[in-house]
Each structure stands twice: as structure tokens, then as C-alpha cells.
Chain A
């Protein structure tokens, strides 16, 4: 089965990102394909490399980055939602005159068309949020 995943809440406040991560990992282990993971609403906050959780807790952002590296996942952060919330890659920072970027490894910034395409291409699109 080919899945697309949508994550609509940020790390820690809600469980949505954890559940999406666990589902993605389990699906990959079971031999399924993940077409794309799309981060929207506060879900874009999963894509900042600046988070510093306590050492005795899981690192939600790094966990996504590591899974993406292991499996070559396509993790997309919505550009409009990201700009509202201060998630920037180097290009966006330069274009908008900001003094730094914060996108985490394995994430890329792109448009909402990537979400619609993910819905069209996958057998199932799963939405994780509140």
C-alpha cells in the first residue's frame, strides 16, 4: 500500500506528531511505501532544528529527520503555514530578509499543491491532528 501522511499539530503539545511518526515507522517496517509526509498548520513546527527537549524525553524533530534519512522520505513543510510560524530554509530567509534559517535536516519547504498531489498519488492519505 502507498500511504501519504499529513501532520497538523506541532511537537509535544499534541500527540498527533508522535502517532504519525509511529504509524509511518510501522508502515515502513511492514513493507509499505510512504509517498510523502506533509506538515501543515502548527505541524510545521515539527520542522525546526532549534528544539531542545529535556534529555529524558523523546526528540520529536530529530526522530523525523533520522527516519527520513534512513528511508529517503519526502517530508514537506507548507510554505505559507511555515512563514506564519517562523519556519525558514536558507532560500526563504534570504528572500524575506531574515537573519537566519531553522529548517531541520530531511525537511523541505514547498506549496500546498504537494499535499493535493500526495492525496492523488497515494492509495490512502492519513491525517494526524486534533
Chain B
């Protein structure tokens, strides 16, 4: 039996201009079945993936942003958002979706999935990973 590995999915693209975010999310959802230690990072334009109130009606591109709300149910509960990337784009955590997960160990208490970290902290987190997938 191989040891559990630390997987980090690093999201660098805005949600709808390219397919990277959507197909990246598909990897995260499939990967959740493998019982590894999973986290996601959102840097650069990737922070736009978590923005509240996305509406793709006029572009006729699928709005997959509600899928991020399901991540908690897949035990994907660590979403790191880089503070500098938010600030550079005029965003604050209040502009992001309110994503939560239920902690089985704590009487199913609802806890936030998004953690804002600075660039150095994210760099340190990347150092600790076994597998990093960039999307």
C-alpha cells in the first residue's frame, strides 16, 4: 500500500475564457475518489474562478461555478487563495463565493473552505506537495 500523497491543484486561469478551469475541476472531482490529501490553490487570474454571481448567459458558455459548492461534499476542503492576486485584481474575500464544508469530527459544523494566504505562505505550501497539477 502506497502512502497517501499530497496533491495540490493550482488554478491560474479565469473561469470562462479558456477550458483550463472547467477541465481542471473535473480532475479534482475524479481525484477525490482516490483518498489522497487534496488541496487547491488559486493564483493570478485563477482567483476569478471563485467570484460570486457569475453569469455566462450572454456568452453561451456553461456556467460551472455552482460546482465549486460541491467540493466540500467530495472532501475537498482546503482552497487556498493568494492575497496578492486578489488585491492586484481589486478583489476581496467578500467578492468570493461562500464555500463551506461540514466537519464530521466536529458534529458536522459548517466551516469555510477558502483560506486567504499570502504569496510566501502559498510558496511554502507548494514546497510540501508530492504532486502539483497546474490548470
Contacts and interface: CB of A to CB of B under 8 A. Distances in A.
Interface of A: 6, 40-41, 80-81, 111-113, 115-117, 119-121, 125, 127, 129
Contacts of A80: 23, 26
A112 B30 contact: yes
Contacts of A121: 2
Q: Is the interface of A mostly helix, strand, loop or mixed?
A: helix
A119 B23 contact: no
25 contacts: A40-B27, A41-B20, A41-B23, A80-B23, A80-B26, A81-B23, A111-B30, A112-B26, A112-B31, A113-B30, A113-B33, A115-B27, A115-B31, A116-B7, A116-B27, A116-B31, A119-B5, A119-B131, A119-B133, A120-B34, A120-B36, A120-B131, A121-B2, A125-B133, A127-B134
A127 B31 contact: no
A6 to B, nearest CB: 7
A119 B19 contact: no
Q: Is the interface of B mostly helix, strand, loop or mixed?
A: mixed
Interface residues of B, number: 18
A121 B5 CA distance: 10
Given A41-B20, A41-B23, A80-B26, A116 B134 contact: no
A40 B23 contact: yes
A116 B30 contact: yes
A110 B36 CA distance: 21
Nearest 10 CB-CB pairs, A to B? Answer: A112-B30, A119-B131, A116-B31, A116-B34, A125-B131, A127-B134, A112-B27, A41-B23, A113-B30, A120-B5
